[in-house]
């Protein structure tokens, strides 16, 4: 039993006293003297090349948020006992910045990522981000992109991947809300997930491992949801599958929740004979994905019958056997969409309709094209506030 109550009381007192919010006007910029040259796009591997600069903002319970700093990307000096390394007090976001046809820099729905990060930080015991904090962070991340303008690839499908991160830097082995936090953003130039057109993926539907459960952290983008998937993913890859289809046992059946690190969409003709695009509802089990939300919003604006509701493996398998499944795809920031052409469940390989020439079903391709165009500002978004923002 780790000592909790005293420290919680202490943290609560400190939180009441906390006042300094994030203030972009206090930004200090230290530029690198050795800027990189962006490699040829085809050499880019996801998340392995980092841009020249990073944004860093420290928080303490006593003093609130310190002045933000943009400085050359480099190592942190961290105590071996910080809670970010022992108790997974950590969360992150994935967003992207783009160069449009005019060469202008753009971000896509970054406000939604920063709002979600408030939820993830709070769920991890870290301080939340007020609306003002989120706005200031938006300005700061855009300034970071501007400074690393030379690292943003200038081709359709290419982008600068943004990785806002928050870690607990409180030095103590007691399990308590951290009294020190580091918020930072690193960035990576990245290529399209599918470099030469779509390539549909084969899934392993797992009845052995689960991603999330009621009362857990499945709806938050916390590190704890990801590392726990590595071993199952590795087993799945050894069997020749690209991703796990995450199921949650419920009685004798399974809820269908997510795929790999993406939300899942199924286009089918439902039991009522209606064509329907279905995805698991928000709540405790699935991440409120930005791409998920974009797909739902575009569907509603274009008359696609979209449903957010719980659906079960038995329903899906029945529809598949009755040829009512039209297509299946994952949706996430890295790939936008990932078409699926096969799912293995308990040793049986189920074929999913997929136009093998295109490498995708029609809806996945439609959403990919729509969202790609909106990201680069080539098409207006179906929303009052534009999704794509010129920096």
Q: 16 to 75, contacts with its own copies by CB under 8 A?
A: 45-48, 50, 54, 73, 75
Of the candidate residues 67, 85, 304, 358, the single one contacting its own copies (CB under 8 A): 85
User: Could you tell me which stretch among 148-156, 164-172, 312-320, 342-350 binds its own copies (CB under 8 A)?
Assistant: 164-172
Q: How many residues touch its own copies (CB under 8 A)?
A: 87
User: Could you tell me which stretch among 64-72, 88-96, 269-277, 362-370 binds its own copies (CB under 8 A)?
Assistant: 88-96
Kindly state whether residue 176 participates in binding its own copies, applying the rule CB under 8 A.
Answer: yes
* Residue number, 6 or 275, with CB nearest to its own copies: 6
Look at residues 331, 334, 259 and name the one whose alpha carbon lies nearest to residue 291. Answer: 331
Of the candidate residues 206, 257, 279, 344, the single one contacting its own copies (CB under 8 A): 206
Shortest gap between Cβ of 334 and its own copies (angstroms)?
5
Shortest gap between Cβ of 132 and its own copies (angstroms)?
22
Structure tokens at 328: 């299946």
Cα-only R_g, the chain: 22
Structure tokens at 60: 């303490």
* Residue number, 298 or 338, with CB nearest to its own copies: 338
Tally of CA atoms within 13 A in the half-sphere of 286 that contains its CB: 30
Of the candidate residues 242, 267, 279, 375, the single one contacting its own copies (CB under 8 A): 242
Helices (H), 192-331: 224-227, 230-238, 290-302, 313-321
Kindly state whether residue 192 participates in binding its own copies, applying the rule CB under 8 A.
Answer: no
Shortest gap between Cβ of 15 and its own copies (angstroms)?
10
SS3 category, 250: strand
Of the candidate residues 19, 34, 42, 238, the single one contacting its own copies (CB under 8 A): 238
User: DSSP letters along 62-73, please?
Assistant: TTEE---EEEE-
Structure tokens at 104: 């202008």
Shortest gap between Cβ of 185 and its own copies (angstroms)?
9
* Residue number, 109 or 179, with CB nearest to its own copies: 179
Query: What residues are paired with 275 via a beta bridge?
Result: 269
User: Could you tell me which stretch among 76-84, 143-151, 319-327, 344-352 binds its own copies (CB under 8 A)?
Assistant: 76-84
* Residue number, 276 or 327, with CB nearest to its own copies: 327
Kindly state whether residue 184 participates in binding its own copies, applying the rule CB under 8 A.
Answer: yes
- Whether the CA torsion 236, 241, 242, 245 is positive or negative: it is negative
> 82: which DSSP letter?
B
User: Could you tell me which stretch among 33-41, 139-147, 183-191, 264-272 binds its own copies (CB under 8 A)?
Assistant: 183-191
For residues 194 and 60, give the distance between their C-alpha atoms in angstroms, rounded to a whole number.
42
Q: From residue 316, how far is each of 191, 265, 266, 312, 337 by CA, in Å?
A: 33, 12, 9, 6, 20
Kindly state whether residue 88 participates in binding its own copies, applying the rule CB under 8 A.
Answer: yes
User: 324-343: which residues touch its own copies (CB under 8 A)?
Assistant: 330, 332, 334-335, 338
Of the candidate residues 17, 213, 271, 369, the single one contacting its own copies (CB under 8 A): 213
Q: Yes or no: say if 218 and 211 are a contact pair by the CB < 8 Å rule.
A: yes
User: DSSP letters along 311-349, please?
Assistant: -BHHHHHHHHHTT-EEEEEEEETTTEEEEEEEEEETTEE
Of the candidate residues 60, 107, 261, 344, the single one contacting its own copies (CB under 8 A): 261
């Amino acid at each position: 039993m780790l000592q909790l109550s005293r420290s919680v009381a202490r943290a609560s007192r400190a939180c009441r006293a906390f006042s300094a919010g994030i203030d972009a006007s206090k930004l200090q910029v230290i530029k690198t003297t050795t800027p990189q040259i962006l490699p040829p796009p085809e050499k880019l591997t996801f998340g392995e090349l980092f841009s020249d600069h990073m944004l860093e903002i420290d928080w303490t319970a006593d003093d609130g948020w310190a002045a933000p700093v943009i400085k050359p990307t480099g190592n942190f000096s961290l105590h071996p006992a910080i809670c970010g390394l022992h108790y997974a007090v950590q969360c992150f976001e994935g967003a992207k910045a783009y160069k449009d046809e005019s060469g202008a820099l753009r971000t896509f729905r970054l406000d939604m990522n920063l709002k979600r990060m408030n939820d993830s930080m709070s769920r991890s015991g870290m301080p939340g981000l007020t609306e003002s904090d989120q706005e200031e962070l938006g300005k700061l991340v855009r300034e970071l992109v501007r400074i690393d303008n030379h690292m943003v690839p200038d081709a359709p499908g290419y982008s600068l991947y943004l990785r806002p991160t928050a870690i607990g830097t409180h030095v103590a082995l007691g399990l308590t809300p951290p009294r020190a936090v580091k918020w930072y953003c690193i960035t990576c130039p990245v290529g399209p997930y599918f470099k030469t057109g779509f390539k549909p993926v084969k899934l392993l539907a797992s009845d052995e491992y689960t991603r999330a459960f009621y009362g857990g952290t499945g709806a938050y983008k916390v590190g704890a949801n990801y590392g726990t998937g590595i071993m199952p993913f590795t087993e799945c890859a050894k069997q020749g599958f690209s991703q796990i289809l995450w199921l949650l046992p419920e009685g004798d059946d399974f809820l269908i929740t997510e795929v790999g690190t993406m939300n899942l969409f199924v286009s089918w003709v439902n039991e009522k004979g209606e064509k329907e695009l279905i995805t698991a509802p928000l709540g405790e089990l699935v991440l409120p994905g930005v791409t998920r939300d974009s797909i739902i919003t575009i569907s509603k604006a274009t008359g696609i019958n979209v449903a957010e509701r719980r659906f079960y493996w038995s329903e899906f398998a029945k529809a598949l056997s009755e040829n009512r499944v039209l297509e299946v795809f994952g949706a996430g920031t890295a790939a936008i969409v990932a078409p699926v052409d096969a799912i293995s469940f308990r040793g049986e390989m189920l074929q999913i309709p997929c136009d093998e020439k295109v490498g995708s079903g029609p809806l996945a391709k439609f959403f990919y094209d729509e969202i790609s165009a909106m990201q680069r500002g080539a098409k207006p978004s179906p929303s009052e506030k534009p999704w794509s923002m010129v920096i």
